Structure 1
């Protein structure tokens, strides 16, 4: 006899399966942490029934590119994410992860993006996983092991290539991380901590991934500017040589002289896709944000200074104005402001649209938590739904949802997530397609979006009627674990 009882019943919804199919009318039953039924749920009885009154109901959004490594330990509510409909975050991107790294004396850029030397307190990846489990966070957390962190942990001088012995040590550390549930290896080859790592070093480490089915090579490439095609070629070659799937992080073409070159990079990716597995992510903004480095100031149209430790009085100021007040050029001003972060206006809308429309592109915020943030930390997913789907028609709604749900779940090996399907985890978002919109901007980057009404993580309501609850449903999610 079929049991038609459940904990929560969601009725009168427009259901999006996450796979890109057309929506259907119906409801969904939640029992424990799983979806018990979808579609016609008229026979079901529940302890709580929520009439969604025509709202869109989709799998919870997966933010594939975050720097929430520390935030998930210190901010269990994760308001910037749940108010966007995000139910899972992937941390450890751009080659920087909190683990494995313990008791550093100083942090080589960009490791300071995640926190201070005291925050790097995990000698093993397993220790970090245990800390996430103990934190009782609102969202699911999956993690990559950072190549830059491995280098900082192993090398006395990160301005040199790793020796064979040092590579062997890093491989042991990487193997420990993968056994503890890491999704793969990330690199940030454009950054000081890793820019001296030759391709051969990365290939040697990536071959370790091939021993763990589904483990990924995820990269902030060596160059996103004048040599972007060369960097894409290196990335493709690393994946092919190591025999592992590749994800290109926040794919972009920086600098006015490079606008339009995504035509070439995407053609390279399409050709490689005939022989190997490649995907990418993108964020829906023309400005990037990362550590403020002198060499990064050369291609941006303008730069906003944020979070300068040396000169906090210049936070929120244009770097050009700061340089004028200091009586120097922008590169020297960046040196004087360090350590600091910057918001760099340097991409073309046409490239963003073209990359976003590619069938192998996912959505990732690349948000960096902090008191002064890029608006993408709070607004990425509603911005795609409100501006890129409803207003500009860059994507249709069901395809945008696929890029936020089933596609990342499939690529990153998040088992039984990313779909509205019986037996899958009840990670869900209900939103109003007519009103959903990001409100965060560069003046007020911490404003919550509108139109996201309900969010469930593993069946637990973490957002109800647009309000963050005190409930916590998240857990650490390891590669392939259901």
Structure 2
């Protein structure tokens, strides 16, 4: 390349204030992008580019990494991924809570919550018998965001067991180990569990450890929706730490929370416990910035306490957005019976304390994950609003932490914990995943009544050097890549 050619960039972001995803103080600089990589950061006024974006008065930051998603199918059937790209998200971590689209045979059962990914009987999504086939499909039809995929323990159980209400036997464990090894070889970044849910709740800790043995020595992660996030949260944390020690692998605690009023305030106990574990082993955690969760509609009375709002119902789609208590009263039945009649269904549970949410968000090592579900017209607003809500409401308005810390929690910290080399920070040579936003106006607009609304203040989003979102419109680019963990393959 000649000197003259080396002065020409594909894109220059000029005049912005850089927050680089490392927690270092912000600084004014131009960012030059060439061949999908960040080529130079500094004073580039003497350089030219095929395209120049004026970012004066704006923050230039690494594209956000959504640490906890259920976008496994969405990236294939909705590849523009506007719900994520409009927030500044450039990478999604899929396969959480023990459920993944692969490895899953077409004739396998799809019990809740797995069916939240696979679709209903009228509109089923594709499933993939081999994890390699799933990743090939993602590569063959790229979405607007990068994808780092995990394999789900529940999915492995579905593939190998004739009954899920018991512990796996030695042959079934061996079969699951084989499927997990194949997934890791194909590019899975780890395994997730969802022992909170019925299809995996019968799996004791010993089964989980045995199934996950192939993780050891690979650098892959163990990610968990713990067995209990309410009365038994302390015991579940200790079980999680023990699994990580037994396997000698990094552990990620998914969407840390304390559910039900009797447990409000217990984050003052759980966070010191997590901090103590971090001193002895590799432990990470994420959360979402809301005091309501969302998942399958339970039929267990203990899980229906408090306000429950129906998000989707295949049997009664017209009741999406209504409270379960109101529906039960109209039908003259118990909440449990109403839940049964609404199945299959998903719901929003108003079961957390705002003080706990803030305490967990502010915990130094907490990553940000949306845990959104791309289902129906009334999803939890976190699907569209998580990242702007952290930046606008919790960082700017509430003052929970500086903007540099907020950006780190959704970029550099997440890339580090999941081993995503060359992502998460604005550094020369890194992949050019970039978001440009207005720190003064960024704001989530998604609400529980109108959840599918893009945020304010996100001006531009660049994925692997391609301008993908610009001033409220998708640009048509689908430059997302499949990402693999650095110790498994090259990113």
Q: TM-score band (shorter)?
A: over 0.9
User: Could you say what secondary structure the match of 1:119 adopts?
Assistant: coil
Aligned length: 481
Counterparts in 2 of 1:191 and 1:215: CA distance versus 1, 3 Å: same
Residue aligning to 2:154: 148
Give the alignment's TM-score, normalised by structure 2. Answer: 0.96
Residue among 44, 67, 72 paired with 2:70: 67
| Residues in 1 aligned to 2:108 and 2:96: alpha-carbon distance in whole angstroms | 22
Residue aligning to 2:81: 78
Residue among 121, 136, 140 paired with 1:134: 140
Is 1:223 the equivalent of 2:228? yes
Residue among 306, 327, 331 paired with 1:322: 327
Residue among 276, 283, 289 paired with 1:284: 289
Q: C-alpha displacement at 1:301, in angstroms?
A: 2.5
Q: C-alpha displacement at 1:39, in angstroms?
A: 2.0
Residue aligning to 1:460: 466
User: Could you say what secondary structure the match of 2:417 adopts?
Assistant: helix
1:236-315 aligned within 5 A? 236-295=241-300, 298=303, 300-315=305-320
Residue aligning to 1:169: 175
Residue aligning to 1:187: 193
Structure 1's unaligned 5+ residue stretches are none
Q: C-alpha displacement at 1:120, in angstroms?
A: 4.8
- Contact map agreement 1:385 1:437 (CA 8 A) in 2: yes
User: Could you say what secondary structure the match of 2:328 adopts?
Assistant: helix
Residue among 87, 90, 106 paired with 1:87: 90
User: Could you say what secondary structure the match of 2:198 adopts?
Assistant: coil
Residue aligning to 1:29: 32
Residue aligning to 1:113: 116
Q: Mean alpha-carbon deviation: is it higher for 113-122 or for 384-393? A: 113-122
Residue aligning to 1:415: 421
Residue aligning to 2:216: 210
CA deviation digits over 1:295-334, x for unaligned, max 9?
2664642011121111223221110011112222212211
CA deviation digits over 1:95-119, x for unaligned, max 9?
0000000113531111011123642
- Contact map agreement 1:278 1:360 (CA 8 A) in 2: no
Structure 2's unaligned 5+ residue stretches are none
How large is the Cα RMSD of the aligned pairs?
A: 1.2
| Residues in 1 aligned to 2:470 and 2:266: alpha-carbon distance in whole angstroms | 43
| Residues in 2 aligned to 1:85 and 1:304: alpha-carbon distance in whole angstroms | 28
Q: Mean alpha-carbon deviation: is it higher for 328-337 or for 64-73? A: 328-337
Counterparts in 2 of 1:70 and 1:298: CA distance versus 1, 3 Å: closer
Is 1:342 the equivalent of 2:347? yes
User: Could you say what secondary structure the match of 1:470 adopts?
Assistant: coil
Q: Mean alpha-carbon deviation: is it higher for 302-311 or for 424-433? A: 302-311
User: Could you say what secondary structure the match of 1:53 adopts?
Assistant: coil
Q: Mean alpha-carbon deviation: is it higher for 257-266 or for 99-108? A: 99-108
CA deviation digits over 1:84-143, x for unaligned, max 9?
000000110000000000113531111011123642520100000001011121110110
Q: C-alpha displacement at 1:353, in angstroms?
A: 1.1
User: Could you say what secondary structure the match of 1:193 adopts?
Assistant: helix
- Contact map agreement 2:97 2:152 (CA 8 A) in 1: yes
Counterparts in 2 of 1:296 and 1:342: CA distance versus 1, 3 Å: farther
- Contact map agreement 1:102 1:120 (CA 8 A) in 2: no
User: Could you say what secondary structure the match of 2:467 adopts?
Assistant: strand
Counterparts in 2 of 1:170 and 1:105: CA distance versus 1, 3 Å: closer
Is 1:353 the equivalent of 2:355? no
User: Could you say what secondary structure the match of 1:444 adopts?
Assistant: coil
User: Could you say what secondary structure the match of 1:102 adopts?
Assistant: coil
CA deviation digits over 1:29-51, x for unaligned, max 9?
00011000012222322111111
Q: Which runs of 4+ in 1 moved over 6 A?
A: none
| Residues in 2 aligned to 1:180 and 1:24: alpha-carbon distance in whole angstroms | 40
Counterparts in 2 of 1:360 and 1:104: CA distance versus 1, 3 Å: farther
CA deviation digits over 1:172-226, x for unaligned, max 9?
00001101111100000010110000000111122210131x2000000000011
Give the alignment's TM-score, normalised by structure 1. Answer: 0.98
